[in-house]
Amino acid sequence: MAKIKVLIVDDSALVRQVLSSLLEKEADIEVIATAPDPIFAQAKMAKVWPDVITLDVEMPRMDGITFLKQIMSTRPTPVLICSSLTEKGAATTMQALEAGAAAVFTKPTLGVKDFLTAERGRFADTIREVAKVNTRNLARLPLPAAVPMKMAPAPEPVVQAMSKTTEKVIAVGTSTGGTLALEYVLSRLERDCEGLVIVQHMPEKFTAAFAERLNSLCAIEVREAKHGDRVRPGLALIAPGGQHMSLTRNGAYYHVIVKPGPAVNRHCPSVDVLFRSAAKVAGTNAIGIIMTGMGDDGARGLLEMHEQGARTFAQDEQSCVVFGMPKEAIKRGGVDHVVALDKIPGVMMQYSR
């Protein structure tokens, strides 16, 4: 098989040298060039076009976001953002994902060489995953819907414990390509949509910036989940990066448990952790939706939801950036309906009514 051709764009000579030497050890990956900024990168790309570009966002002469937008508007190509794990880096990286970046690989501000050497396997695997993305879907998602004015949430009534509840919950899992897909879906929901619990594979610090951006675009409230938050209509809770989120029930209401834990299916937060808890505590009171993403995280949990009577949905291949997670869920028999991305908001609102 042909090797994956990689172009490394980073203003740090150390990062370029370390990444090049690490990837050269991979039999199926070839670093065709490195560049200290997008201007040099454009000259290299004029000679040989890469299969994957690794891109820093803060660089001289032209910033990474501007360069990324040029690529996605002229010749969409899988781009892996290599960003520092900082609050500032998180905000900038959200702009990159909005502009069409396929994924993010975070790096520390100190000890970069040792970190990258230790993470060689994960970095190479990420390159392989990004090389498979459907860049047409990254570049062509419709703009968010217009945002109606938000209304203050109603106060939560006091309830007594009961054996059954009429409360409903929508559980969603997604990964690569999910930031844009979730933006599309959530921005089209109405204020009376049932409460959502969402796992989007994303590093620590990044989920807060992601939730804040979505909240500015949506009629419903969107925020990063905190331990003990109640799941209620008009609210979407996004699992924090680096912590698992599961569903529990207290009396008639559903709440979330947010806590650190070992990676499940190589991810923390994990979709399977959320879906399996929804199967256990919500059953027929829930629907599960698995969307674009690499790997098989969520496939087992969605099957358990299906077996407990929840209605289950998977995003179709044509609208996915990567069909991995939905495909695995379908193969395991846990999916009731396969739907296009533009149908998912309607599925959620129909369930809510």
Distances (CA, A) of 78 to 52, 53, 55: 5, 6, 10
Number of other residues whose CB lies within 10 A of the CB of residue 1: 5
201 is catalytic: yes
Of the residues 10, 56, 296, 297, only one is catalytic, namely: 297
Would you give the DSSP letter of residue 240?
P
d(CA 187, CA 221): 10
Of the residues 83, 84, 175, 277, only one is catalytic, namely: 175
Strand pairing report for 244-250 and 253-259: antiparallel
Strand pairing report for 244-250 and 52-55: unpaired
d(CA 292, CA 200): 10
56 is catalytic: no
d(CA 271, CA 304): 12
Written as six digits, the tokens of 40 are 């040099």
Of the residues 10, 201, 229, 306, only one is catalytic, namely: 201
352 is catalytic: no
Contacts for 125 with CB less than 8 Å, ≥ 6 apart: none
Dihedrals phi, psi of 158, to nearest 5 degrees: -85, 130
From the list 102, 87, 253, 108, the residue with the least C-alpha distance to 169 is 253
* Contact predicate 245/239, CB 8 Å: yes
Residue 2 CA to chain centroid, in angstroms?
Answer: 28
**Facing residues of 221 across strands?**
235
Written as six digits, the tokens of 259 are 């806590």
Which residues participate in catalysis according to the annotation? 175, 201, 297
